[in-house]
Amino acid sequence: MNDVDILQACIPGCEELEKESESELVAKVILKVWPVKAKFSGRVTLDPSKAPDAFSLAGEGDGGVAGFAKGGADVELIEDGETTILRYTAKAQTGGKIAQLGGRLITSTAKKLSKSLFEKFEKIMSGEVELEKAS
């Protein structure tokens, strides 16, 4: 998950992702949370301090009049024979117009986005899908 190309392919709506340092990335992401669609510019911070067994990533973005979004995930990798099990917990916080949509909608959207990210990651890592076709 510290490979910029893989991470960009996995983040739903990610248009750009550039590495500023080993742990800091700059991102442009388009998100749609019914009925609000916004382009967010923000940062993603990677914390590989517990690698290779676990890592964390956190992001925050400004969507202009749509508001802001913050979120993150803690990821644990567990060896299971010849496979690896990926477990994660994700969290999200919003403000502005997006937050006015209501907690249930935000929670549902955050879960959907997290699930999409990790499903794409699994498909890329398993070779089921090539990186170029994952976006």
Domains of the chain, first to last? 4-134 (3.30.530.20)
- CA-to-CA dists, residue 53 to 37, 78, 89, angstroms: 36, 7, 15
- Asked whether residue 3 carries a pLDDT value surpassing 60, the answer given is yes
DSSP H/E element including 133: helix 131-134
**pTM higher than 0.75:** yes
- In DSSP terms, 25 is beta-bridged to 19, 44
CA dihedral sign of residues 21, 89, 15, 64? negative
Minimum mean pLDDT range among 33-37, 52-56, 94-98, 121-125: 33-37
Of 55-59, 103-107, 115-119, the least confident: 103-107
Q: Tell me how far apart the alpha carbons of residues 130 and 135 are, in angstroms, rounded to a whole number.
A: 10
